[in-house]
Amino acid sequence: MTKFYTTTAIDYVNGAPHIGHAYEKILTDVIYRHFTQRCEDAYFLTGTDEHGIKIQKTAAEKGISPKEFCDMNAQKFKDAWKALDIDYSQFIRTTDEQHEKIVQKIFKKLVEKGDIYKHSYTGLYCSGCEAFLSEKDLTEDGLCPDHQKKPEVVEEENYFFKLTKYKDAIIKHIKTNPDFIVPSFRANEVINQLEDIEDISVSRVKTNVNWGIPVLDDPEQVIYVWIDALSNYITAIGYDPDGNSDKFEKLWPADVQVIGKDILKFHSIYWIAILMALELPLPKHILAHGWITIDQTKMSKSLGNVISPTAVLEAFNLDIPDPLRYYMASAAPCGKDGNYSDEDFKEKVNAHLANSMGNLLNRTLSMLVKYFDGDIKPEFLNKNELEKQALETVKAVKHHFDYFEVQEAAQKIIELVDITNKYVTDNAPWTLAKEEKMDKCGEVLTNVLQVMTVISSLIYPYCPNIASRMAEQLGYDLDIKLDDINCRYLKAGHLINKDDIKPVFLRMDSELADKKK
């Protein structure tokens, strides 16, 4: 691979980041970090969506300008992603001057092409969704199914995008590219939505919504969410109707765009139609992940079960975010819903990261010091009995990531850890040392440590800090590409001293300070 470009949905800044937001960013970060191990040019875009009526109203209630409100909340998302070690390449805000200018150009280009037209319209508008809904979208009681509120009747003259013009082309693309939508079982859902698709409003009258990007040549209209927010994926990397940047030419199309299943329609239909209208290549994959429930219950402000990701780090006194990253990234099979609970979090992380993986490295290094003063002797470097399984795991992990199966890849890594633990138990180096079979004892310990170098590379996307701690004690270079990994990295000579052996991750045994919160 020469390049890998991935994006997340941009988060609406009307509230603070919660664990659902964190799940998407962690999932994408793990995918991104994995592909940095396979190609030279990997790029990861995330950001915030900052226009619209909800921002306008909330800012007015707080007595501050919409921009001040956006600045304050956008920083909350940046702070949360920093705490979680989200290693994004760029953070775009839709209030960025460059983004706004290019969005205006995109809008004008589509008007000139005839794909955007002005039309008087009476529709049902849900302020919670910031979208016009049709009768069939509503419940039997005429309510928005997501917000359980009756939409207001809005009569405006707006600009509309000719979505229906691209209906057949989108259906054809989905059917001829079965891996375009991930997981594939969601493709039929999208095709069904396309059957009754209508042209969509892409502007609002400024007297009703003034917090938005003005339409060039028609300042009484502001550009509505679809052209504004969705275009961030290309404006961020230098798309310009008047001439694209080298960066855009290198990175586009996106290799995978990671979004929640609830906004799949907007990305697999609206966004694709906009790209077709702009005559741009389509993203290679759209990954629609599931939701994260809390103790098997959907997150809800009214239920009081909305969890901040940084609150989890603080509650468990975690000095690194790796446990939460690992837990969230492995919370659900590709595209399915996952669940967070305090007990499951602690038990799973303790079992996998502390007991199985961390303890394996710690006790193996300790035996190397105890029996051989931390030295690897030349006679220990015979053919590694675990090499085949280790390299098969590398291959399997790469295969799962090719299909964005992040949980499934994590399972393969832990399986290798379990196999290596069993190898230690079966060969009992402590018994070999007691029987003075020192060459065999040293060979077993070296075989395990060679596998641990592989494991440190594989676990790195999930647990970058733990992987770095492992690599430091093994004298291993984490920058080695996955294609170059082998089980023979360690060489004869001194590896480690007793004082340098430290647990890479301690068990989480502390309870939450206040479980009622």
Which are the catalytic amino acids? Answer: 18, 21, 126, 129, 144, 147, 298, 301
Q: Which residues of 93-123 are buried (b: 16+ CB within 10 A; e: fewer)?
A: bbbbeebbebbbbbbbebbeeebbeeeeeeb
Written as one letter, the residue type at 347 is: E
Tokens of 221: 């209209």
Q: Which residues contact 183 (CB under 8 A, 6 or more apart)?
A: 288, 334, 335, 336
Tokens of 182: 């991930």
Question: Which residue has 């799962």 as its token pair?
Answer: 400
Q: Where are the alpha helices (DSSP H) in 117-245?
A: 167-176, 187-195, 225-230, 232-235
Q: How far apart are CA 389 and CA 418, in angstroms?
A: 12
Q: How far apart are CA 461 and CA 30, in angstroms?
A: 5
Positive or negative, the CA dihedral 339, 341, 347, 349 is: positive
To the nearest 10°, the Cα dihedral for 127, 129, 133, 139? -100
Q: How far apart are CA 413 and CA 352, in angstroms?
A: 10
Q: Which strand (E) or helix (H) includes residue 376?
A: strand 375-376
Distance of alpha carbon 197 from the chain centroid = 29
User: Which contacts of 430-437 are long-range, i.e. CB under 8 A and separated by 24 or more positions?
Assistant: 430/367, 433/367, 433/371
SS3 203: strand
Q: Which strand (E) or helix (H) includes residue 458?
A: helix 438-459
